[in-house]
Amino acid sequence: MNPLKTLTMFAIGALVLTAPAFSPSSFAISAWLDDTELQRFKGATIDGRYVNGKHFTEHYGSDGRLNYVEAAMTLRGHWSITQGTLCTIYDFDETGGCYRVSRVDTNCYEFYFVSRTEQAAPGPGDGKPRWTARGAIQGHPSACQDEPAV
């Protein structure tokens, strides 16, 4: 076998083996869901995981209300679609925000933080939203994997 080809295969293998177990996919960031596509969350509940591995469940009510559960914590608030972002704003808690969302598989969505408020959406003009979570809509088989998508 060609020594250069062997070295290249070894280097690729080493990168795959040392990649983080739960990371954003290589899905093209230009494929954000638009306002119409974000409507799929209306009335839906997602189960997800943050980059740090914590699990959460969030329900987007048909009436715009929001219920969030993480371990023993429950938050309520409202959700909206604002200029291509999905915003989750909690009552009496400032940890919500607006996110760009990409669909990385049939039922797997990645959420990228862009702004803390609906007024600041769609977010930073530098085009570099921060990946924060991955989740799947309940009632359908999840296509999310804890493995890198590359």
Q: What pLDDT, in 10s, does the model give residues 29-84?
A: 448 999 999 999 999 999 999 988 999 999 999 999 999 999 989 999 999 999 99
Q: Of 114, 108, 97, nearest to 134 (Cα)?
A: 108
CATH topology of domain 31-137: Lipocalin (2.40.128)
| CB hemisphere CA count around 91 (13 angstroms) | 10
Tell me the domain boundaries of the chain. 31-137
Q: Which residues, in sequence order, are bridge partners of residue 88?
A: 79, 97
**DSSP reduced 3-state for 85:** strand
**18, pLDDT greater than 50:** no
Top-confidence range, 51-65, 106-120, 129-143: 51-65
Backbone angles phi, psi at 12, to 5 degrees: -65, -45
CA triple 100-101-102, angle to 5 deg = 130
Supply the pLDDT for residue 131.
Answer: 87
